[in-house]
Amino acid sequence: MSPSWSSSRSATAGQWLEAAPLPPRSPYTIQAGTLIPAILTEAITSDLEGPVSALVTRPVYDSLTGQFVLIPQGARLDGFYDSEIAGHQTRLNTLWKTLYFPNGWSLALNGMPSLDQGGMMGLTDHVNRHFFQRYGTAVVLSAITAGISLATYRNRGFFYDDPATAATYGAGNVLGRAVAEDLSRGMRVRPTLTIRAGTPFNLRVTQDLTVPGPYDEAMRTSTDDAREEE
């Protein structure tokens, strides 16, 4: 038995799962793991985080029988996206907080994530890595570094400079290092990810969703009952 196996959670887990099966809370349930197909209605970019919206493109049926439409085509999704990406990332994280039904009802989603058409987390479309800005900066930085090295070498040679020349070398050395530091920061620019409007994706349900009944029928009944009580 290898050390990695003996220290893993799988090695210390019991033989039996300490959980009992539970019945569904309602026949009108969309279970976790269900994918809700949608498309973005607006473009988003990683330069600045903000809100995002989408539309459901196909009806979503209950998970138990597949007979009842619980989320209709045209329902609207409201969410937000995160602009914090690393230099090697090519995917933008989008999370959905509310589903709005066409009849005005809403359902909280608590930040359910997006998957692309291949089932991978996040969305990707056009990636601008700013090659010219990054590598053009690298060329300028290498030239400045070479100039700094040359100035330092001359100052440390076996000859004496007059005060004016020494001052020039010193000023060039300090200025060159300041410019090099600024250019070095420019080389760390992050890529810009742009996801165009109309991009298809899937919202992944991460918690069971339960509604009063099939779309519109149960919701209309609940509304009528509430009016009668008033």
Instruction: Identify the pLDDT of residue 80.
Output: 93
Query: pLDDT value at position 135?
Result: 46
pLDDT tens-digit profile, the chain (230 residues): 455 656 666 667 777 778 888 888 899 999 999 999 999 999 998 877 889 999 999 999 999 999 999 999 999 999 998 766 655 677 888 999 999 999 899 999 999 999 998 899 988 888 765 455 554 444 445 555 555 555 554 544 444 454 445 444 444 554 455 544 544 554 456 778 889 999 999 999 999 999 999 997 666 655 555 445 55
Contact 77, 38 (CB under 8 A): yes
Hey, what are 148's tokens? 């700094």
> What is the Cα gyration radius of the chain?
30
Q: What is the pTM of this model?
A: 0.67
At 65-102, the pLDDT tens digits run 999 999 999 999 999 987 666 556 778 889 999 999 99
* Residue 42 confidence (pLDDT): 93
Detail the DSSP E strand segments found in 164-224: 192-195, 200-204, 209-210
Q: How many CB atoms lie within 10 A of CB 71?
A: 22
- The whole-number pLDDT of residue 216 equals 78
Domain 26-125+194-219 belongs to what topology?
Lipocalin (2.40.128)
H/E element, 90:
none
**pLDDT for the residue 4:** 65
User: Contacts from 128-132 at CB under 8 Å and sequence distance 24+?
Assistant: 128/191, 128/192, 128/193, 128/194, 129/191, 130/189, 130/191, 130/192
Per domain, the residue ranges of the chain are: 26-125+194-219, 131-186
Quick one: pLDDT at residue 159? Answer: 45
Q: What is the pLDDT of residues 112-133, one digit of tens each?
A: 999 998 899 988 888 765 455 5
Q: Is 57 helix (H, G, I), strand (E, B) or coil?
A: coil
Report how far residue 88's alpha carbon sits from residue 124's, in angstroms, rounded to the nearest whole number.
13
Task: Give the bridge partners for 37, in sequence order.
Answer: 202
Give the pLDDT confidence score for residue 24 in this predicted structure: 85
Residue count of the chain, please give it: 230
Q: Which helix (H) or strand (E) holds 205?
A: none
